[in-house]
Amino acid sequence: DDENINSQPFMRWRERFLNCLEGINRASAATGEVKGSYLNITGATMEDVYKRAEYAKAIGSVIVMIDLVMGYTAIQSIAYWCRENDMLLHLHRAGNSTYARQKNHGIN
């Protein structure tokens, strides 16, 4: 589940999550190995993020991903949720380059 397709209207996250889990289950059955995927729960609001996280957990995912550009408070909030719900959290930095590569931005 790509980190850059987090909340675009044409990228239906529920269908994406189901398709990812279907592929994971098929690969696990074929190989006998444990497989997984980082489902991208990044959203426009924390309500969106929590809704996606709850759905990911409900369909059997054990790991979710957010983009770092959500900000420190959002990262901490979903990290607490993940701990309380026995979920792994992956932080992706794809959006960070929009800030970090500019030498005059003030954040680096």
pLDDT per residue as tens, the chain (108 positions): 555 565 567 778 899 899 999 999 999 999 999 888 889 998 889 999 999 999 999 999 999 999 888 889 999 999 999 999 999 999 987 666 666 666 666 555
Cβ within 8 Å of residue 58, ≥6 positions away: none
pTM attached to this predicted model: 0.80
d(CA 6, CA 31): 30
